[in-house]
Chain A
Amino acid sequence: MMLSVIYAILFYAATLLLIVGVGRKIAIYARTPAPLKIPTTPAPITKAGVVWRMTKEVTVFQSLFKSNKWTWLFGWVFHVALALVLLRHLRYFQEPVWTVVALIQPFGKYAAFAMLAGLAGLWARRFLVDRVRYITNLSDHLMLALLVAIGISGLGIKFVSHTDIVSLKAFVQGLMYFDLQPLPSDGFLLVHLTLVLILMVVFPISKLLHVPGLFFMPTRNQVDNPREVRHTAGWTAE
């Protein structure tokens, strides 16, 4: 039970840090003015056009596709697989489980392999492409190591040494409703959860800020209409 208490406290703390940390960053991004019109053109001339441009960037990584096919392939496969895996994990938080989450379970199970393959490709580029090697910091390797380890430990739970997922779900539900339940003390599970805790804490202070940051980039989210609509903000509004 001691273990369950420790993990419960850690999860509450990590969740708080994640929400407060990312929320704070989003508030800062929203508050910081964009004094000039700087969309990278050709850019949409309507708001709907901007929504479409952003949708393509977020869902199919349009600019990256144009830029580098290998990085796009590995990066896109990783992100899509990660999305499936995250959706699959929703079942621990839901009772009853949503139909869509139930439906993707079989795909989500194997998406972990795709996720690892994507990560392996991205990591390989950091060693094999001289230019990418040059710009890589130690933190870039550590981030990949963390994600790979989360994937492998997760696969360990699924395919090597099963954990008692009924108890696990009870533990997670307990966390949600402040009714602490015992956490199964299996090796793979504890490693997996610990690494996820680290990821949650690191998120708001790392390059993972590209997730909220992407939506605030003036080069992508501004409408190209400076002659029609007078734009002022920050020092240009003074």
Chain B
Amino acid sequence: MAAKFDTPELFENIAVIDPPPKYEEGAMAHSRPFVAKPAHNEGIGYPGELVDNWEEKAVTRLGELVDGSRALRTFLDSCVKCGACTDKCHYFLGTKDPKNMPVARQDLLRSIYRRYYTFAGKHFPKLVGARDMDKSVLDEWYSYFHQCSQCRRCSVFCPYGIDTAEISMAAREIMDSVGLGQKYCNEILAKVHVVGNNLGLPEPALADTLEGLEEDVEEDTGVAIRFPLDVKGADVLLITPSADFFAEPHIDGLIGYAKVFHQAGISWTLSSYASEAANFSMFIGSGDNLKKVAMRIRDAAIDLGVKRIIVGECGHAWRVAYSFWNTLAGPFDFLDPKYPAPQHIVEFTYDLIQRGALNLDKEANDHRRITFHDSCNVARASRMGDMPGGQFILPREVIKAAANNFFDMAPETIHENTFCCGGGGGLLTDDLMELRVKGAMPRMQALKQVVDDHDVNTLVAICAICKTQFAKTLPYYNNPMSMITSLHHVVGDAIQLGTKE
């Protein structure tokens, strides 16, 4: 396990640490996630181990990626090193390592692009910071491209919109293509291809879990609420992160969705074939895998004959669903055209509330003093509703419809300025605990302010990764683990069962 480290110190009465810290060279150079075993890499179509001539192959792969991505090409060419992004990354703010400044992270790859693919870098490498591809570069890539959660905060502040997420995805794809993969992402992705979800939970186990859940909820509420699996002809196929089936506080969210479906009287089902909203292929920049996992959902929807697809609380999954599904697995012309395809569970619940289809008792949540964490992939890479920024409005409106006490964190730390939880982008693994705790610091600083000022005791999120990450890191900053919960936990607690149906 990771060596001991110090949790960053938080300050009184501020939302963001200003001025930003002085950098400490090499502060996180030791951070490296476990390397994938050959079986993990091969399971998702990559060589098992570092190949011969990997230097040459890595450079060739880089060229192919640049040729295939306008984003990557313009991002690598256009940076003027203005420094606007340098104090925007939560990992830089939390670790002080200068290679965690977005532009410095990009330069780890840009230096290779320049050396092999630009006039200046070929002929004057020293002048423009170009360097040869060698083992030290690969080691640095492995370390620092696994210190980026692909949250896109830098891209909001870049005068050109250069998105470090795209660059770190490309770097991971190059490393995978020469046989150097990260265990956490690749092992999980291999499971999805075989079993259908990140946990490797097969159909009988999933059916068991859901049955147990039905019994628990009936015991709790006295109402028979269904958690249907593989029901042909249901109206809605719910695609949700598999963490919702067993993890705390995720499962309370799943119970909340079920209560919403129950009261609205809309038939729904989960799929054992596509029992996973997450698609870690995005984290490793793998187009082939991204498409393959997305196709499972299309196939399940056709197979079950549903009219709508709704996606549960998960940040990157919503990005993939909202932004990429239509491209990768569309067109969804077999679904009911009255509804957006896909739809977010928050959009669904919000519409029901607007129509008065849910009876919510706000007082049921009076013991909660709530703040909301905007998950990065929802905030900066997708939308909800029919207007720009709906992804900020809808979840807050749903919370306010279900609870009386809501307090936003400081404006520079929410909406598109939100700070990542510190565990996104394929970094939610125990072998990166130091990075995760330090990367959570900016969010924890903003949270501390509303805790101090408004006695906030509940942090609501709509992302499986955020929930797990906060459950783990909140205690490091002297907050109870139970502070984090699902948005649909709050909704579920407020629903007055038996009053509508």
Residues of A at the B interface (CB closer than 8 Å) are 25, 28-29, 32-38, 40-45, 49, 57, 61, 63-64, 66-68, 71, 75, 122, 125, 129-132, 134-140, 142, 205-207, 209-210, 213-214, 216-220, 224, 226-227, 230-232, 234-236
Q: Are B326 and A219 in contact (CB under 8 A)?
A: no
Q: Are B324 and A137 in contact (CB under 8 A)?
A: no
Interface residues of B in 373-400 (CB under 8 A from A): 379-383, 386-389, 391-392
Q: Which 7 residue pairs spanning A and B have beta carbons closest together?
A: A213-B78, A219-B161, A42-B388, A132-B83, A67-B157, A67-B84, A131-B86
Q: Are B326 and A63 in contact (CB under 8 A)?
A: no
Q: Mark B34-69, 1 if CB is under 8 A from A, else 0.
A: 000000000000000000000000000000001111
Q: A33 CA to B20 CA in the complex, in Å?
A: 37
Q: Would you give the shortest CB distance from B54 to chain A, in whole angstroms?
A: 23
The answer, yes or no, to whether B70 is at the interface (CB within 8 Å) is yes
Residue in A41, A64, A214 whose CB lies within 8 Å of B82: A64
Q: A41 CA to B249 CA in the complex, in Å?
A: 28
Q: Are B416 and A216 in contact (CB under 8 A)?
A: no
The answer, yes or no, to whether B477 is at the interface (CB within 8 Å) is no
With a cutoff of 8 Å between Cβ atoms, the chain B residues found around residue A227 in the complex are 322, 326, 340-342
With a cutoff of 8 Å between Cβ atoms, the chain A residues found around residue B107 in the complex are 135
The answer, yes or no, to whether B119 is at the interface (CB within 8 Å) is yes
Residues of B at the A interface (CB closer than 8 Å) are 20, 22-23, 66-71, 73-75, 77-88, 98, 101, 103-104, 107, 118-120, 124, 126-129, 152, 155-163, 166, 287, 291, 322-324, 326-328, 330-331, 340-342, 379-383, 386-389, 391-392, 416
Q: Are A137 and B103 in contact (CB under 8 A)?
A: no
Q: Are B70 and A41 in contact (CB under 8 A)?
A: no
Main secondary structure of the interface of A (DSSP, over half): helix
Q: Are A217 and B86 in contact (CB under 8 A)?
A: no
Q: Are A42 and B391 in contact (CB under 8 A)?
A: yes
Q: Are B157 and A66 in contact (CB under 8 A)?
A: yes
**Least CB separation from B119: chain A residue:** A205
Q: Are A32 and B68 in contact (CB under 8 A)?
A: yes
| 29 sample A-B contacts, Cβ–Cβ < 8 Å, listed by A number | A32-B66, A32-B68, A32-B69, A33-B68, A34-B71, A38-B71, A38-B163, A38-B323, A41-B379, A41-B383, A45-B388, A57-B159, A57-B160, A63-B84, A63-B160, A67-B84, A71-B84, A130-B22, A131-B87, A134-B98, A207-B77, A207-B81, A210-B77, A210-B79, A210-B80, A214-B78, A217-B75, A231-B326, A236-B328
A234/B69 contact (C-beta < 8 A), A63-B159, A135-B83 known: yes
Q: Are A219 and B155 in contact (CB under 8 A)?
A: yes
Q: Are B383 and A61 in contact (CB under 8 A)?
A: no
Q: Are A217 and B87 in contact (CB under 8 A)?
A: no
Q: Are A226 and B81 in contact (CB under 8 A)?
A: no
**Least CB separation from A236: chain B residue:** B327
Q: A210 CA to B85 CA in the complex, in Å?
A: 16
Q: A100 CA to B280 CA in the complex, in Å?
A: 56
**A28-B73, A64-B159 given. 15 additional CB < 8 A pairs?**
A29-B73, A29-B74, A34-B69, A131-B83, A131-B86, A135-B107, A139-B124, A139-B129, A205-B120, A207-B78, A219-B161, A219-B162, A230-B326, A230-B330, A236-B328
With a cutoff of 8 Å between Cβ atoms, the chain A residues found around residue B129 in the complex are 137-139
Q: Are A42 and B327 in contact (CB under 8 A)?
A: no
With a cutoff of 8 Å between Cβ atoms, the chain B residues found around residue A138 in the complex are 126-129
Q: Are B389 and A42 in contact (CB under 8 A)?
A: yes
Interface centre among B81, B342, B379 (most CB of A within 10 A): B81
Interface centre among A29, A63, A122, A135 (most CB of B within 10 A): A135
Q: A135 CA to B159 CA in the complex, in Å?
A: 16
Q: A66 CA to B412 CA in the complex, in Å?
A: 10
With a cutoff of 8 Å between Cβ atoms, the chain A residues found around residue B159 in the complex are 57, 61, 63-64, 67, 75
Interface centre among A57, A136, A138, A210 (most CB of B within 10 A): A210
Q: A132 CA to B382 CA in the complex, in Å?
A: 31
Q: A33 CA to B22 CA in the complex, in Å?
A: 40
Interface centre among B291, B324, B391 (most CB of A within 10 A): B324
With a cutoff of 8 Å between Cβ atoms, the chain A residues found around residue B85 in the complex are 67
Q: A236 CA to B70 CA in the complex, in Å?
A: 13
With a cutoff of 8 Å between Cβ atoms, the chain A residues found around residue B73 in the complex are 28-29, 32
With a cutoff of 8 Å between Cβ atoms, the chain B residues found around residue A43 in the complex are 383, 388
Q: Are B388 and A219 in contact (CB under 8 A)?
A: no
**Least CB separation from B80: chain A residue:** A207
**Least CB separation from B287: chain A residue:** A235
Interface centre among A61, A142, A214, A219 (most CB of B within 10 A): A219
Residue in A45, A134, A142, A235 whose CB lies within 8 Å of B387: A45
Q: A235 CA to B72 CA in the complex, in Å?
A: 14
With a cutoff of 8 Å between Cβ atoms, the chain A residues found around residue B20 in the complex are 131
A63/B287 contact (C-beta < 8 A), A41-B379, A217-B74 known: no
Q: Are B118 and A205 in contact (CB under 8 A)?
A: yes
Q: Are B324 and A139 in contact (CB under 8 A)?
A: no
With a cutoff of 8 Å between Cβ atoms, the chain A residues found around residue B392 in the complex are 42
